[in-house]
Amino acid sequence: MSAPETPIVILTTGGTIDKTYFDALSAYQIGESVVTKLLATANVTHAYRIVEVLRKDSLELDDADRQRLHAEILALDSQRIVVTHGTDTMVQTARVLASIPGKTIVLTGALSPARFAESDAAFNLGMAFATAQTAPPGVYIAMNGHVFRGDRVRKDRDRARFVPVD
């Protein structure tokens, strides 16, 4: 009999991946996380557990939020973690998480809400999930079909993608 599979823990923080449109307000707001639905739709059979940490746009995240996320990850038994996060400050959060030893932490998000038919959310989440299973300990960002080291990437707003930095 083989040992049970260690679940990947997915921490949700909000961001565009979880935005929804409320007609009455005529604005996008962070709604309930869509991660469960995305993983179910993809028929993911690897063990996972989802923990909601925050429901904020990443531009609203502050140092206290990042320290809370850091503490949550540090306290986890799991060594393999995915964090859904808004793209605007994802790199800043990656820097804060870099001090956590011995864990593979992969941040991902979306440039358009997962609820949109043409969203990049499902693909990015899949890349992050695979990276969490296979990458050595460290902090990574999985976006746009690439896996970047968390300290060697930036968001290029003009090109609407993440790009490596030297």
Whether 164 maps to a domain, the answer reads no
Convert the pLDDT of each residue in 109-160 to its tens digit. 998 888 787 899 999 999 999 999 999 999 999 999 999 999 999 999 999 9
Distance CA 125, CA 38 (A): 8
81 touches 74 (CB < 8 A): no
48 and 76 Cβ atoms separated by less than 8 Å: no
Asked whether residue 54 is domain-assigned, the answer is: yes
Angle made by CA atoms 50, 139, 8, in degrees to the nearest 5: 25
Q: What is the pLDDT of residues 67-125, one digit of tens each?
A: 999 999 999 999 999 999 999 999 999 999 999 999 999 999 998 888 787 899 999 99
CA-based Rg of the chain, rounded to a whole angstrom? 15
What CATH number does the domain containing 133 carry? 3.40.50.1170
Residue 38 lies inside a defined structural domain of this protein = yes
| Type of residue found at 86 | G
Note the pTM of the prediction, 2 decimals.
Answer: 0.92
Report pLDDT digits (tens) over 21-53: 655 555 666 667 889 999 999 999 999 999 999
Count of domains observed in the chain: 1
Residue 48 lies in a domain: yes
User: Does residue 157 belong to any structural domain of this protein?
Assistant: no
Q: What is the largest CA-CA distance in the chain?
A: 55
Residues contacting 111, CB < 8 A, separation 6+: 16, 87, 120, 160, 161
Query: Collapsing DSSP states into helix, strand and coil, what is residue 94?
Result: helix
Q: Is the pLDDT of residue 11 over 80?
A: yes
In-domain check, residue 36: yes
Domain limits at 108? 8-149
Q: Is residue 61 part of a domain?
A: yes
Mean pLDDT of 51-69: 95
**54-66: average pLDDT:** 94
Q: Is 75 inside a domain boundary? A: yes
